Structure 1
Amino acid sequence: MNGRRRLWLASVLAVLLVIGVVLAVVLTRSGQTTAGPTPSSASATPSATPPATKKPSTPPPVPAAPAPPSIANLPAAPMNILVIGSDSNGNAHQEAAQTAATGVPFDQQSDTLMLIHVPADRRMVYGISIMRDTWVNIPGYGAYKVNAGLGLGGIDLTTRTVESLFGIHIDHTVMLDMHGFKVLVDGLGGIDINVPQAFTSTIETQHQFTAGMNHLDGQAALEFVRERHAFADGDYTRVRDNQIFMRALLSKLSGAVRDPVSVLALVNFAANDLTVDGGFDPVSVAILAYGMRTIDPAASVFFTLPNLGTGTSADGQSIVIPDYGAFAAVGAAVRDDTLAQYVAAHGF
C-alpha cells in the first residue's frame, strides 16, 4: 500500500472563497462617490453691469455613483461537484495540468474523493466519500485503485472515472493539495473540530488530539484529516474524520463569506491554491457560492459509499472491493435528486 498519507479538503464550499473577490469589489464600490466637475471660479474683474442683473449660474448635475456589480442567481436545479484532495507535496495544479497536456503521469494521487450533491432547493448538501483504495476501472487504463486517476490523467480523468462509476454528470471539479489545505485553514483563523476520540498523530509534529472540541491551525488540521495508522480500522476512521472536518469547514466558510475582513484574507488562497475544472471561471464560482448561501451545514449529510470490504488485487495490492450495486443505487438517487430517500432507507 502506498505510504503517502492523504489530506482532505472535503468540500465543495471551498469555492465560497472566490466570492470574496466579488464581495470586496462590492464593498469598495458601494462606499465611493464620484464627484461632479467643479465649476471654474470667475476672475474678480470689474464689470459695467451691476451684479444684481446677472442670472446665477447653475452647476452641472453630479453624476450618480456607479452601481455595484450584481451576482446572478443560479437556476433552481440540482448540481454535482467532485472534490479532490491531492496528496502532492508540490503544486498539484501544475502537476495535474502537465499530466493532462503531455500524458506523462505525476506521482500524485487523489487520496480524498468526495462527491457533493447540492439539491435543487439548496437547503443542505450531501457528501459521499469514496474510499481511496476502491478497485475500479479507470477509462482507458483498466483496473486501478480509484485514487490513481489523478496521476494518470489529471482532474479530467478523475472526473470521468467517477462519472462512469455512478452514471452521472459532474458539473464542476475542485482540487486542493496539502499546502493549499494549510493556507485555507490558517486563512480562516483556524478551525474548531469536535474530535470523537483522543489520539496522537503519527505524522510530522505528532500532534495530540483530545476528545471533544479542539481549535486547530492548518498543520494540526492536516494531521487530523490525514491520520489513519492511529486507528484500528485505519482508513475507515480517517474518512469519517474527513467528514467531521467537512461539516466544520462548511460552518466556518458560511460565516467567513459574510465577514469582509475574513473574505479579503482568503483572496490570495482562492487565486493561488484552489484548482478548478477548465470551464469554471471566477464569475461562475462566485455565482455558485452565492447560490449556496442558504445551505445549512448542520442539516447536511455525509456518508461513505458502501463497499464489500478489503481484499488483495491480482498483483498483490491491498484494495477496497467495490459494491457496484451501491454505485448504481447512489447514482440513481443523485440523478433523480432523491438522496433524502436513499439516506433514510440506509440509516445514514
Structure 2
Amino acid sequence: MRRPNACPGDGGVGANVAGDEDGRADAADGVPEAVGVPEGGDAAAADGVPDSGGVPEAGDVPDTGGSADEAGAPEAAEARRARIRRRTRRVLYGALILLCTGALLIAGTGYWAYQHYTGRVQRIPHVFPTDVPAAALPPPSRSGSQTFLLVGVDSRSDLPTTGKDAKAPEWKPGAQRSDTMMLVHLPADHKHAYVVSLPRDSWVNVPGHGMAKLNAAFSWGGPPLLIDTVQRLTRVKIDHLAVIDWSGFRKLTDAVGGVDITVDRTVTRRNGPGGVWTAGPHHMDGDDALDYVRERYGLPGGDLDRTHRQQNFLRAVLSKVLSGGTVTNPLKLKRTLDQVTSVVSVDDRLSDGALRDLVWDMRSVRSSDMVFMNAPVAGFDTIQKQSVVLLDDTGSAQLWEAVRNDTMADFVATHSLDTLGTHVS
C-alpha cells in the first residue's frame, strides 16, 4: 500500500487510493472474488475438479465442512482485512497529524523566542559620530561582513548602566571609562569570528583632544567619540556597537553557572579578597571572574595580559553557552537568554530583524571557530606620567587592511600574532 502524503488534507483522495489498492491486495492474497465463482456444478471445475458432464456422485465431492461455512469464509476474511486496513490508516493518519502538529508547535515556539529575545535588547541612541570630515571616514565594510565594537564599561557606580535594568545613563562625562575594547569581525562566510583587543592604555590621537589613552575617549565623549577614535585609528568601519558594564558582567557570569578558567602560573590576586591565583583550573562565579579580568598589576605582560584575561573569559562564556548543553536545554537556554538580553545594550541601528539575521547566520560558529588576538604592539612607555602602550604602526596597518578586505583567515595563517593560547595567566 502506498504511503499517504504527510499532513493529509483531503480524506476523499486517501480513501480512493486505499480503495484502489484493496482489490490488488485481495488478488495478491489468492482470495477469489464472489462474482468469479461459477454457480452449481461449475464450482468444482473452478476449483480444479474435472467436470464429468453430469452431477457428481457423493463420494466424488470434497467435504468442505458445510455449504454455509464455505460460502461465508471469503467474505469474513475480506471483512477482517478491511477492518485491519482501516485501523492501520487511522493510526498512520493520526501519527502524521501529530508529527505535523509538533513541527508547527516547535516552529512557532522558535519564532516566538526569536521575536521575544531580540525585541528585548536595550538600544542606545545616537552612538555614531556626526560631522566627521569625509577624509576621516573609513570605507564601507565588504559586502556580507560586519565589524562590531564590543565595549566593557567601568561605570564607577553600583547601578547598572546597560541592559533593560539600567538605572543610570550609559555615559556621562568623566563618570565612565571603557576598560575593555574589542573589535569583533564577522566574515561574510559566517564560518569564523575574529576578536582583536585594543589595549585600554593604547596611546592614540583622540579627535579634538590630541594624544591620549584610548579609554579616555569614552570618558570624554561617550560612544560617538570612541567610535570616531577607533575608526580613524584603524580605518575600519564600525557597523555596530555592543556595551556591557561590570554589573552586567557579574550577572552574565552567574547566569551561565560560572566559568571554568585555567591559570597557567601562580600570580598575585590584588582585587577582591586578595591572595593569589594559583596555577591550575578555577571555577569562577561573577565576583571572581570580575576580579580576574580587572586585574592589571603584577601581570608579566601588564595591560596585554589583562586583555588576554578578558578574551579568556569571553571564550569560557561562549564555550559554556554554545557547547555546554545550554543550547539544547530549554530551561537553561531561556535563563541565559533572559540574562544576556537584560545586561547588554546595542546601538539603535541594529534592528530586531538585523539581530535575528545575525543570530541565524552565525548559528554554526562555536568558540573553537573564534580567533582571539591583541593588536600588534611596539612596546611600552611613560608619557605625561602615564604608563602607555605603543601600537606597532606597520603590523597594525596590515591587520586593519585584512579586516577591511575580509581576508582575516589568510592573514592569521601567514602572520605571527599575539593570539590567545590555551592557558592564560
What interval of TM-score do these two structures reach, taking the shorter chain for normalisation?
0.7 to 0.9
Change (3 A) 1:312 1:229: closer
Change (3 A) 1:76 1:134: closer
Change (3 A) 1:198 1:138: same
1:139 aligns with 2:207: yes
In structure 1, the partner of 2:331 is 261
After TM superposition, the structure 1 = structure 2 runs for residues 193-204 of structure 1, keeping only pairs within 5 Å, are 193-204=261-272
Alpha-carbon separation, structure 1, partners of 2:268 and 2:382: 29
Could you tell me which runs of 5 or more consecutive residues in structure 2 were left unpaired when the two chains were aligned.
1-100, 116-141, 418-425
CA contact (8 A) 2:293 2:306 kept: yes
- The code of the aligned residue for 1:334 comes to V
CA contact (8 A) 2:152 2:245 kept: yes
Aligned residue pair count: 277
Change (3 A) 1:167 1:292: same
1:82 aligns with 2:149: yes
- The code of the aligned residue for 2:392 comes to D
Deviation at 1:243, TM superposition (A): 2.0
Equivalent in 196, 200, 221 of residue 128 of structure 1 = 196
- The code of the aligned residue for 2:357 comes to I
CA contact (8 A) 1:89 1:178 kept: no
Alpha-carbon separation, structure 2, partners of 1:140 and 1:96: 23
Q: What TM-score does the superposition give when structure 1 sets the normalisation length?
A: 0.72
After TM superposition, the structure 1 = structure 2 runs for residues 1-348 of structure 1, keeping only pairs within 5 Å, are 68=108, 69=111, 77-90=144-157, 91-93=160-162, 97=170, 99=172, 105-206=173-274, 208-255=276-323, 256-313=326-383, 315-348=384-417
CA contact (8 A) 1:195 1:212 kept: yes
Alpha-carbon separation, structure 2, partners of 1:222 and 1:97: 19
Over residues 180-226 of structure 1, what are the superposed CA-to-partner deviations in whole Å (9 max), with x where a residue is unaligned?
10000000011111222223410022264332322111111111111
Over residues 45-101 of structure 1, what are the superposed CA-to-partner deviations in whole Å (9 max), with x where a residue is unaligned?
xxxxxxxxxxxxxxxxxxx978623869xx9822111111112242344665453xx
**How large is the Cα RMSD of the aligned pairs?**
2.5
Over residues 17-59 of structure 1, what are the superposed CA-to-partner deviations in whole Å (9 max), with x where a residue is unaligned?
xxxxxxxxxxxxxxxxxxxxxxxxxxxxxxxxxxxxxxxxxxx
SS of 1:266 mapped into structure 2: helix
Alpha-carbon separation, structure 2, partners of 1:126 and 1:112: 16
Alpha-carbon separation, structure 1, partners of 2:148 and 2:221: 19
Q: What TM-score does the superposition give when structure 2 sets the normalisation length?
A: 0.60
Deviation at 1:116, TM superposition (A): 0.8
Alpha-carbon separation, structure 2, partners of 1:92 and 1:308: 35
CA contact (8 A) 2:147 2:185 kept: yes
SS of 1:150 mapped into structure 2: helix
- The code of the aligned residue for 1:80 comes to T
Could you tell me which runs of 5 or more consecutive residues in structure 1 were left unpaired when the two chains were aligned.
1-63, 100-104
Deviation at 1:174, TM superposition (A): 0.8
CA contact (8 A) 2:161 2:245 kept: yes
- The code of the aligned residue for 2:385 comes to G
**Structure with the greater relative contact order (CA < 8 A, sep ≥ 6): 1 or 2?**
1
